[in-house]
Structure 1
Amino acid sequence: MSVEKDTARARSPFKGMGIKLDTAIARGLNRITGAALAPYQSAIVRIGFSLTFALYLLREWPHRLELYGTTSPWGFDLAHRLVASNHAFTVLLWSNDRLWFELVYHGTIVACLLLLVGWHTRTMSLLFMVGVLSLLNRNVLLGDGGDTLIHLMASYLVLTRCGQVWSLDARRRARAATSVGDGSNAMSVTLWAVCGAGLALAELTGFADIPLRWVLILWTLWLVQALWFWAVRSRFTEVRALCDVVANLVHNSAMLVIAAQVCLLYATAGWYKIQGPRWQDGTALHYPLHLNYFSPWVSLSQALDSRSTIVTLITYGTVFAQVAFPFALLNRRVKNVLLAILITEHATIAVICGLPFFSMAMVFADMVFMPTNALRWVGAKVSAGRDRLTRRNRRSKSPPRTGVRARV
């Protein structure tokens, strides 16, 4: 009887499937915990959104007080009521003093620029998130849709290891030839200590009015940073390995959430457009071309609107691209084609409709799905151009030769 059972097991078509399944699961776990995936994609998100928000703040610098400051029509009391109802986070409501507003506004610009170049990205990503939330939650009546995406991406970037490539942190690690974590130098510890001291001082003096959940979030991030510093300096290799695995897992999960966010954005936008009668009859593009707010180049808008066939094709093509994009991720070639179409569409919106920052936010969000080889190629071209420019500057600054040739 036992011989027959053994023979049946040997002839079973499912023999070895359990071992293969276990091997596949082990490979998958090793992949998502052994390294921070999509380093170039996370870097382009960091660079793109910090650049977009920095340019937006610089453009609105002459009108900053009317938009988010002490002379805003959305007054201090109205903002307090709204924040009390939706439990949003903003440090601008801690004080109605202009000096405090100027400090937050210009500090956010500095955080954007430092995150852009990748200087201590772990701390700068947190300060960038605080600045973005503080300004956007101060006056929720402003924005054109891109601010919502910046709001979300700023929160996600805190959880990523976005300084692995194309950053000053990566250059510093390469020079130091470190092989564990991001390194921990005196400046990192100083920034961590200053942030913790500032948060503690704001709470103890009663200056800060922070909701309880945001108190827990900020102090948890501060303590995680302390744990990372200790793990990097620890003599226990197991602790360092465990912290590195957790950091990789959190990073990969955050990148997955960013990709899902972009897919959800396009899916909802496309399906809502399908339900609109103007999108169904192909005339939706006609109406914004006749609004002064969306027509910075009137002649260009009129030239485009005069061709009804092009208007219809763009209207239907927009709906098709947005609805099909999440499904196109199943095929790499189709995904790349639709990605190029969507990026071209947003670039066109930036010019024709006068929405540069909305288009920039959407383009940099789309670049999460860019092929790694394409991003590497772009990075190599930028590095080559920078090196060429640096060499030219060095040659122009070098003193001319004044030696006298000897006569023969």
Structure 2
Amino acid sequence: MGNERNSAVAPAAPVPQRPTAQLSTSPSAAQKLVDRIAAVGELLTGRPVSLYAASVLRIGYGLLYLAFLLREFPHRDEIWGPGSPWTPALAQQLFAQTGWNSILTLSDSRAYFEVCYALAVATSALFMLGWRTRVLSLLFAVVVISFHARAIFMTDGGDNLVLLMAMYLVLTACGRHWSLDARRIRLKTARAGTSPQQAKGETAQQLRDALATLTTVVHNCGMFVIAAQVCFLYGSAGLYKVQGASWGAGTALHYVLNIQLFQPWPALSHFVDEHTILIAIAGYMTVLLQVAFPFVLFGRLKYPVLVLLLGMHTGIAVLMGLPLFSGAMIVADAAFLPDRFYAALPRLCRRAAQRTGVRRMAPSRATGAGSVPAQGRPGVPSLK
């Protein structure tokens, strides 16, 4: 009886429950994959990335190619014109093998060539200034491709990167900032007093949204391709150098400095070559920077690396006489600086100018009601 009473009042043993809550909160591998795909899709379609960097690329490469055409103006006939040793007939034979083409080979007339050259100069200048960049970006790519293909063996190779970037910039919205197009839109908005009127109707609005999304996706893909191209260029160059015995021995730059073809100032090259230890350190640093470049882009270490690369390309331009190549690489490196850096540049320049007394803003102009609104004003769409 006592045992029966104890068994009657004893609490029932708890029934073990399945950890359903824990299973529901831990995401599966499939869910993680879906989340990552959604994050990539949001990155591509959410907003345009690196708009200021794209504008810097437009200004840089437009200015570089304009300076290149003006520098070679006295020698234009020997390089691209009818008087070139690489005749249009030879160029056509090469085009049949490579698939390239050029508008310069459509006619052997000197007048036609001069017109093409003048249009190339005007296109480069207008592209740099950002006038009708949607059309000018395509025309600039045609100009660079045509001049590169016409005399592919007559240049120093510095225009190879300019050629690739000109084609990639066609995909980007490189006229959103620091351009005549952006200025025209700001002035139009300031005169109207409100933002531009949106298209009426649900269907029209959907088409506008779809066009904006498509533009964003194409621009982001273009910027990602540019970044991948620069990473591939640095990485492959560094790995090729690692395989060379002279780079491993630290003597590669000694031989480079003694190539007569790349000695614009022989006395300066010989002076630098006398410092053997510094030459060896510079050679090892060159290989290290190029190999490490793709791996430091997602941290703060990329900023000192970009500064060292700037010094390296400046040395190449001065000591080897390759300004076009060095300028193209410096402009390409500028694509990896964040937009907040470029957005802060005008303010920093104004502060520096005010401190040095070079330029002082009048109070009426700075605070007047008729001043042009800032470029990043909310609610004002920036169109290319």
Q: Does 1:378 find its partner at 2:378?
A: no
Aligned-pair CA distance for 1:20: 7.8
Q: Does 1:288 find its partner at 2:300?
A: no
Aligned-pair CA distance for 1:29: 2.6
- Listed as ranges, the gaps of 5+ residues in structure 2 are 1-14, 191-195, 363-384
User: In 1, Cα distance between the equivalents of 2:361 and 2:269?
Assistant: 44
User: In 2, Cα distance between the equivalents of 1:277 and 1:27?
Assistant: 45
Q: Rate the CA distance shift 1:300–1:34 in 2: closer, same or farther, 3 A.
A: same
Which residue matches 2:313? 346
Any residues of structure 2 matched to 1:126-205 within 5 Å, and which? 126-177=138-189
- Which residue of the other structure, out of 67, 70, 74, is the alignment partner of 1:58? 70
Q: Which amino acid aligns with 1:348?
A: G
User: In 2, Cα distance between the equivalents of 1:282 and 1:269?
Assistant: 16
Any residues of structure 2 matched to 1:9-408 within 5 Å, and which? 9-12=20-23, 14-15=25-26, 25-26=37-38, 28-177=40-189, 236-330=204-298, 332-381=299-348
User: In 2, Cα distance between the equivalents of 1:132 and 1:313?
Assistant: 37
Q: Rate the CA distance shift 1:38–1:5 in 2: closer, same or farther, 3 A.
A: farther
CA-atom RMSD, angstroms?
2.9
Q: Bigger radius of gyration, 1 or 2? A: 2
Q: Which amino acid aligns with 2:249?
A: D
- The structure, 1 or 2, with the larger RCO (C-alpha pairs under 8 Å, 6+ apart) is 2
**What is the number of equivalent residue pairs in this alignment?**
338
Q: Rate the CA distance shift 1:270–1:29 in 2: closer, same or farther, 3 A.
A: same
Aligned-pair CA distance for 1:130: 0.6
User: In 2, Cα distance between the equivalents of 1:26 and 1:363?
Assistant: 34
TM-score by length of 1: 0.76
Aligned-pair CA distance for 1:42: 0.5
SS where residue 85 of structure 2 aligns? coil
Judge conservation of contact 2:158–2:322 (CA < 8 Å) in 1. no
SS where residue 88 of structure 1 aligns? coil
Aligned-pair CA distance for 1:291: 2.2
User: In 2, Cα distance between the equivalents of 1:86 and 1:261?
Assistant: 21
- Listed as ranges, the gaps of 5+ residues in structure 1 are 184-230, 393-408
TM-score by length of 2: 0.81
Which residue matches 1:8? 19
Q: Deviations over 1:69-122 (max 9, x none)?
A: 100000111001001111112111111111221111111111111111111101
SS where residue 164 of structure 1 aligns? coil
Q: Which amino acid aligns with 2:248?
A: Q
SS where residue 19 of structure 2 aligns? helix
Aligned-pair CA distance for 1:362: 0.5
User: Which is further off, 350-359 or 68-77?
Assistant: 350-359
Q: Deviations over 1:212-231 (max 9, x none)?
A: xxxxxxxxxxxxxxxxxxx9
Aligned-pair CA distance for 1:383: 7.0
Judge conservation of contact 1:234–1:240 (CA < 8 Å) in 2. no
Which residue matches 1:207? none
User: In 2, Cα distance between the equivalents of 1:317 and 1:127?
Assistant: 39
Aligned-pair CA distance for 1:379: 4.0
